[in-house]
């Protein structure tokens, strides 16, 4: 799992993590399905091989039983079939027909061996009759057959195993042979009694044809799972893309609504609601001393009346520019009324507050030198809460009073200057 994480994209958001979880779950489910289907195919291959081996065993038993029921069969003596030396005590083992054809008695075991030879040549299916006490040395059991025969004596009815013969895969199956009455003609001398296990018959079925079919099925299943995985992955990706787009649009709308709730539309500064929330938050913070500056645009109403509200709006925007250019990034500037602005300066004492007021005035002077119309004048007032016990609302009222004191003083100076000119 640790190695897998190196190849997986790192999620950037909770939604990306959900998509990654879905992708991993989808992949694991397809891998599990593929593993299960491949196992089912392999089990099916083994079942088919077992069926073939059992059918071959049943066929061999039927041949032997038929021959045993007839006491064996006579066949011509030739290069392939010579008299069975183990039947030399059987009366009339060899006979001659009236036409002079020499015949020999073929017992069930002899017949079965010849059938096995033909079967091995034509179908690569091997058969072997064996026992722990064979009459014929060639019928001696190998190691695997010996273990199987011993298990039959313990009550086991069948033994099978996937193995190799001459480097090729085979399924070996062996079942016990039960002594029947007609079998005792040849095997009574071994001490067998009817109903006893006298040996076993093993059948070896070639697995190559079945494994070739199995491999074709596995390739088909793997290809089908790959196609399904690709379709599911593409579908998940497209769905995630749509959801992600919808989520981005929703987030953008929420951000816009949040921005509009906290900001003034005309200037882009914070609005009065946000300013009051910050006042409450800072009043219980460790940001003291806190200074507040109040700024008011002079003569805004005459400008609106004479030059129109667009000129007045432009003056409001320029006021916002002057204030933002004069304070720190962490200071909070808000438009709290039509022509009134407020600035909160955390961790700012009285001296630093005076410096800020002077920066605003200097910036305003530079502005006035560049933009003659409409003429911008600001009345400013500031106050500082040096301790947490001082209410910020009281500090704001003091700053507001000082602003109005400056505004009235400026009006008084203008009036006196106008009277001097008229005199």
Residue 180 sits at φ, ψ, to 5 deg, of -115, 165
Longest dimension (CA), the chain: 173
**DSSP single-letter state for residue 297:** E
Q: Please give the backbone phi and psi of residue 322, each rounded to the nearest 5 degrees, phi first.
A: -60, -45
DSSP string, 150-216: HHHHTT---EEEEEEETTEEEEEEEEEEEP-GGGHHHHGGGT--TTSEEEEEEEEEE-HHHHHHHHH
According to DSSP, the residues that pair with 126 across neighbouring strands are 204
| Domain parsing of the chain, residue ranges | 12-72+107-212, 272-417
Burial of 388 per CB tally in 10 Å (0-12, 13-18, 19+): middle
Which stretch of DSSP H or E encloses residue 254?
A: helix 208-262
Distance CA 342, CA 323 (A): 10
Taking phi first (over 0 means left), then psi (-120 to 50 degrees means alpha), and beta for anything else, what does residue 19 get?
alpha
Architecture in CATH of 12-72+107-212? 2-Layer Sandwich (3.30)
pLDDT (0 to 100) of residue 4: 44
Helix, strand, coil percent content, the chain, rounded in steps of 5: 60, 20, 25
* First vs last C-alpha separation in the chain: 94
- Tell me if 210 sits within 8 A of 48, measured CB to CB: yes
* CB-neighbour burial class of residue 377 (10 A; exposed 0-12, middle 13-18, buried 19+): middle
CA 196-201-205 angle, 5° bins: 155
Residue 304: per-residue pLDDT: 84
For residue 348, count other CB atoms closer than 10 A to its CB: 25
For domain 272-417, which architecture applies?
Answer: 2-Layer Sandwich (3.30)
Q: What is the pLDDT of residue 159?
A: 92
**Separation CA 393–CA 279 (nearest Å):** 8
With the C-alpha atoms ordered 286, 269, 292, 360, is the resulting torsion angle positive or negative? positive
**Per-residue model confidence as pLDDT tens digits over 215-260:** 999 999 999 999 999 999 998 888 888 888 888 888 888 888 888 8
Q: How far apart are CA 150 and CA 159, in angstroms?
A: 11
The mean pLDDT values, 10 residues at a time, for the chain of 423 residues are 48 76 92 95 94 90 84 90 86 90 89 87 88 81 90 89 92 84 54 66 92 95 95 88 85 85 92 93 89 93 84 90 93 94 95 95 88 79 87 93 91 75 63
Predicted pLDDT of residue 8 = 47
């Amino acid at each position: 799992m640790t190695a897998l994480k190196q190849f997986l994209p790192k999620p950037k958001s909770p939604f990306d993590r959900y998509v990654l979880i879905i992708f991993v779950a989808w992949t694991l489910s397809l891998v599990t399905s593929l593993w299960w289907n491949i196992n089912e195919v392999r089990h099916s291959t083994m079942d088919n091989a077992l069926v073939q081996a059992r059918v071959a065993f049943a066929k061999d038993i039927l041949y032997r039983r038929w021959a045993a029921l007839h006491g064996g069969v006579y066949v011509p003596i030739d290069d392939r079939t010579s008299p069975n030396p183990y039947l030399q005590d059987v009366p009339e083992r060899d006979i001659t027909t009236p036409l002079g054809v020499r015949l020999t008695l073929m017992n069930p075991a002899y017949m079965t061996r010849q059938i096995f030879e033909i079967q091995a040549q034509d179908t690569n299916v091997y058969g072997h009759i064996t026992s722990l006490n064979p009459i014929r040395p060639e019928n001696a059991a190998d190691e695997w057959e010996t273990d199987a025969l011993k298990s039959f004596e313990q009550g086991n009815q069948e033994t099978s195993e996937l193995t190799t013969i001459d480097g090729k895969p085979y399924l070996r199956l062996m079942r016990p042979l039960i002594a029947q009455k007609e079998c005792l003609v040849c095997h009574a001398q071994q001490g067998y009694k009817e109903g006893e296990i006298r040996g076993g018959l093993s059948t070896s079925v070639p697995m190559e044809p079945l494994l070739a079919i199995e491999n074709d099925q596995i390739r088909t299943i793997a290809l089908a799972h790959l196609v399904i995985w690709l379709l599911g992955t593409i579908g998940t990706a497209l769905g995630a893309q749509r959801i992600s787009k919808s989520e981005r649009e929703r987030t953008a709308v929420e951000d816009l609504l949040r921005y509009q709730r906290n900001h003034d539309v005309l200037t882009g500064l914070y609005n009065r609601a946000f300013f009051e929330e910050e006042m409450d938050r800072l009043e219980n913070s460790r940001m003291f001393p806190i200074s507040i500056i109040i700024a008011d645009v002079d003569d805004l109403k005459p400008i609106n009346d004479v030059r129109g509200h667009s000129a007045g709006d432009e003056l409001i925007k320029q006021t916002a520019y002057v204030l933002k250019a004069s304070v720190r990034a962490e200071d909070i500037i808000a438009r709290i009324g039509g022509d009134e602005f407020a600035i909160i300066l955390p961790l700012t004492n009285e001296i630093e507050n005076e410096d800020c007021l002077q920066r605003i005035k200097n910036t305003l002077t530079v502005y006035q030198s560049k933009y003659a119309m409409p003429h911008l004048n600001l009345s400013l007032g500031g106050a500082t809460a040096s301790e947490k016990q001082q209410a910020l609302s009281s500090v704001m009222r003091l700053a507001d009073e000082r602003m109005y004191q400056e505004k009235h003083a400026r009006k008084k100076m203008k009036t006196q200057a106008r009277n001097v000119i008229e005199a």
